[in-house]
Each structure stands twice: as C-alpha cells, then as structure tokens.
C-alpha cells in the first residue's frame, strides 16, 4: 500500500527530501506563496510548528506558483523572504505544481486518498498525514493554522 512515505521532494536548497524521513511524525503539508493575501498565515504555521514540534509535528512548506503567479521568486528569494519576514524555520521544498496534470505525485496521491477536499483550491491549502504516512485530512486555505479543527487534528495525529 502506498503511503506519503513513498514520495520525495527536493528541498528549497536543492537537496533530496524523502518523506520517509518523517516516519513516526505527523506532517502538515502546506502549499505556500509569498505574494498572496493569505501569506500572513506563515505566522500561524511557524507558531503551530513551534508549539507542536516537541510532540513530533513537522510542517512542510511547498512553494507553488499555480495560483495567479503569487510565488514568482527563485528558491533563494523564497527562502530569504520566508526566513526574514516570518522567521520560517520549518522545511521548505523547491517550487512545484500542486494541481492538475503537472501536480507533484504526492499531491496526486493525496487527491486519490482523500478526494476533492485534498485538491488545492488556492495557496495555503493544508494536507495532514499521520506518523504511518496515511492521508488523514485536508483543510481549506482560509482555515487558519491555529484554528481548532487543525489543532485538534494535529493533536489526534500526534497521539495516534
């Protein structure tokens, strides 16, 4: 059976990033953009990461330029923006597509596992998978990282 641990990305600084390295950790995967009205959600993502990191949560930011070109920068520009503007210290991938025929295989798998809810509507769509790599839940971009439904899902995934 395929799990999230079967997929890999490239880090924002060009290194291989196998999701299997997160076995035993729930992971919240978020497609991000630097020039979006929802970009301030980085603050909530950093807070959630810091609050739950000790319990095992990993937040993974996935830059994507598919939504009105709101992530136009190079990987280096994205990384600098995220760290200097929002203090992002969770892992970031290189820019990928998250939707449609060109979507990264992880996103196609999540869509197959969770259905339409996992199809990113916009930047800051959130996908949660468990310690065992099984798809758990998808969250609409407008749901803030600190919202009760996300915190409760993360808490359940941490305890599972």
How many CB atoms sit inside 10 A of residue 87's CB? 12
Q: Give dist(CA 75, CA 160) in Å, integer.
A: 34
User: Of 10, 11, 36, 119, which is the active-site residue?
Assistant: 36
Label each residue of the chain as H, E or C. Answer: CCCHHHCEEEECCCCEEEHHHHCCCCEEEEEECCCCCCCCHHHHHHHHHHHHHHHCCEEEEEECCCCCCCCCCCHHHHHHHHHHHHCCCCCEECCCCCCCCCCCHHHHHHHHHHHHHHCCCCCCCEEEECCCCCEEEEECCCCCCCCHHHHHHHHHHHHC
Catalytic, 36? Answer yes
Active-site residues: which are they?
36
């Amino acid at each position: 059976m395929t799990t999230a641990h079967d997929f890999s990305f490239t880090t924002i600084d060009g290194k291989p990033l196998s999701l299997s390295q997160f076995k035993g950790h729930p992971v919240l995967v978020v497609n991000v953009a630097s020039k979006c009205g929802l970009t301030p959600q980085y603050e909530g993502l950093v807070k959630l990461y810091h609050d739950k990191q000790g319990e095992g949560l990993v937040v993974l930011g996935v830059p994507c330029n598919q939504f009105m070109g709101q992530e136009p920068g190079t990987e280096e520009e994205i990384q600098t923006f995220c760290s200097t503007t929002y203090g992002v210290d969770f892992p970031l991938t290189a820019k990928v597509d998250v939707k449609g025929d060109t979507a990264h295989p992880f996103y196609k798998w999540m869509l197959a596992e969770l259905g339409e809810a996992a199809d990113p509507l916009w930047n800051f769509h959130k996908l949660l998978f468990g310690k065992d790599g099984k798809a758990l839940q998808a969250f609409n971009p407008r749901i803030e990282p600190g919202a009760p439904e996300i915190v409760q899902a993360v808490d359940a995934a941490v305890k599972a």
